[in-house]
A and B are shown apart, each in its own frame.
Chain A
Amino acid sequence: MSATNSSTNGPSDQRSRTSDPAGDMPTSRTVEASGRYAEMSFEARMDTVEFRVHERAHIVVDGRKCVDCSVRGCITACPANLFVPTADGGILFNYEQCFECGTCYMVCNEEGAISWSYPEGGHGVVFHAS
């Protein structure tokens, strides 16, 4: 199965990253403007991590289930910010920059919305300085 054959699992360039869904954190620009610590962009943050992407998506999200989900815990909790809400109440998910941590399937409250497995051996995240 490939990443793009489901309507909710598009390639990464199709989605906009919302790094502050709650809106109660200063954005990088306001932080800089106030002269305090200049926080990096989320893209730059993820660029510090090596991912050996395999063509098979190791995590698949069934966006139809997400429409009925009231909690949507994945959006805030995923440390890689891979769950992006869509206008129609679904979820846009891309597996490529995933830490394989397990947070999403643990907090997901719709049975069967997330099919979770590890990537093929040798693929996925590779840490070097952690």
Chain B
Amino acid sequence: MSDFDVIVVGAGPAGSAAALEAARAGMRVCLIERGPFPGAKNMYGGVVYGRILDTLIPNWWEEAPIQRWITRRSTMVLTDSQALTIDFRTESWGKPPYNGATTFRPDFDAWLASNAEEAGATLICSTTVTGLLRDGQRVTGVVTDRPDGELTADVVIACDGVNSFLAKEVGLYPHTDPSNFTLGVKETLALPREVIEERFAVRGDHGLDIEMLGCTGDVPGGGFLYTNAESVSIGLVLSLPQLAKGGIRPEQRLARLKEHPAIAPLIEGGEVTEYSAHVIPEAGYNMMPELISDGFLVAGDAAAMCLAAGIWLEGVNFAIGAGAAAGRTAAGAVVRGDTTADGLAGYRTRLETSFVLADHRKLRDAPHIVMSDLAQQKVPKVICGMAEQVFTVVNPDPKPGMFKILWSELRRNKMGIRDAASHGIRAARTFR
């Protein structure tokens, strides 16, 4: 008999959700994490979208370690000296069941893992899985860096994050193409609660989420600024190949954003309490590996399930959704006594009928569009240029018409009207 029915590698959101659901289904589950505690290795922008948690932990908002509930969401388009912001707020996101919330991953991941433990899973931290045990094609367990550290299981679920060496070991990723990945760098800046309330026009435990485009210079990417209880998180996401071409380093690009006239007053006086970095699988559906092998499932960032498409940066909810589906599928297969790839095939069906693969398939072109030269370099300049022309009073000249303004901005930024229209249509199709 195997040591466990199910071994889950990685106690991030995917892994803890997988362990939680498998343990609830009566499985003997081992959840292995290389950090000294769950979340120790994990950083992200800062907002978890909780709807998927409703299905796992009723009233999760009463116990989850939340910093602020997002009730105000801004999308900011920047050039070096301009900024146009669309700002939305709603009180409904400030009460149950809420929408998004800022939380620190070392807190959130530890909390989610503790739910898996309460359901009966065995959590082992400070243990790195260094490889897989195999019987021919079939995965039969894991090798860890502990003395006598081999553990066997009927199903191994790889929730080991973006670098997933386990999915690579099974051969599910043909090769690693750096253009599918971005580097995220972030600073957590301490600010007093009252300063945050005043600067960001929020009260109590409500908070703001700003997504930015046009703030990464010649490297495709984006930026973010999120409010926590007594700090803000500010960061950049940068495409790897262009970043590696040389020139300006990640933290220097972040320093530039912090000096931008639209951003500097928001963060003034904020002391850096933590600098952090992590890689994101950016290309979504088009880079996803095979998800199933004999005795083996992949979930979360390990399977590139993070949705990074411009105005969205959602990975935690996708990881939880996928992990829960993997945990349930594994349990069903163990009970039926068939944990081959065929016996585990229901995993893909579960994902396809849920948001995890439905959203990804629908938005499969979005990462490419958002990271294109047009969206990154030209659109911000055209949008900000138009706004400046519309709002500049040119007396004694008469006001120029909107079409004339659009035309002149397209021309100034060397964008053909046909080019603009065809990209517009493509974007409209993708985001429809």
Q: Per a CB cutoff under 8 Å, which of A45, A49, A121, A127 touches B251?
A: A45
A87 adjacent to chain B (CB < 8 Å): no
Q: What is the CA–CA distance of A48 and B276 in the complex, to the nearest angstrom?
A: 9
Whether the Cβ atoms of B273 and A77 lie closer than 8 Å is no
Name the distance in Å between A48's Cβ and chain B's nearest Cβ: 5
Whether the Cβ atoms of B252 and A121 lie closer than 8 Å is no
Q: What is the CA–CA distance of A72 and B188 in the complex, to the nearest angstrom?
A: 29
Q: Per a CB cutoff under 8 Å, which of A37, A39, A125, A129 touches B41?
A: A125
- Measured as residues with beta carbon below 8 angstroms from the partner, the interface class of chain A is 35 or more
Q: Per a CB cutoff under 8 Å, which of B34, B105, B279 touches A106?
A: B279
Interface centre among B43, B248, B277, B279 (most CB of A within 10 A): B277
Q: Would you call the interface of chain B mostly helix, strand, loop, or mixed?
A: mixed
Give chain B residues whose Cβ lies under 8 Å from the Cβ of A24. Answer: 247-248
Q: What is the CA–CA distance of A25 and B172 in the complex, to the nearest angstrom?
A: 41
Instruction: Please report the total number of B residues contacting A with Cβ < 8 Å.
Output: 57
Give chain A residues whose Cβ lies under 8 Å from the Cβ of B128. Answer: 118-121
Digitize B68-96: 1 where CB-to-A-CB distance is under 8 Å, 0 elsewhere. Answer: 00000000000000000000000000000
Give chain A residues whose Cβ lies under 8 Å from the Cβ of B176. Answer: 106
Q: What is the CA–CA distance of A44 and B275 in the complex, to the nearest angstrom?
A: 10
Q: What is the CA–CA distance of A100 and B42 in the complex, to the nearest angstrom?
A: 10
Q: Per a CB cutoff under 8 Å, which of A48, A119, A121 touches B275?
A: A48
A positions within 8 Å CB-CB of B: 19-22, 24-25, 31, 36-37, 39-40, 42, 44-46, 48-49, 52, 71-77, 79-81, 99-103, 106-107, 117-122, 124-130
Known: A76-B249, A121-B145. 19 other contacts (CB 8 A): A19-B252, A21-B246, A25-B256, A36-B259, A37-B255, A39-B255, A73-B243, A74-B244, A76-B244, A79-B183, A81-B251, A101-B183, A103-B181, A118-B34, A119-B34, A120-B145, A122-B35, A128-B106, A130-B44
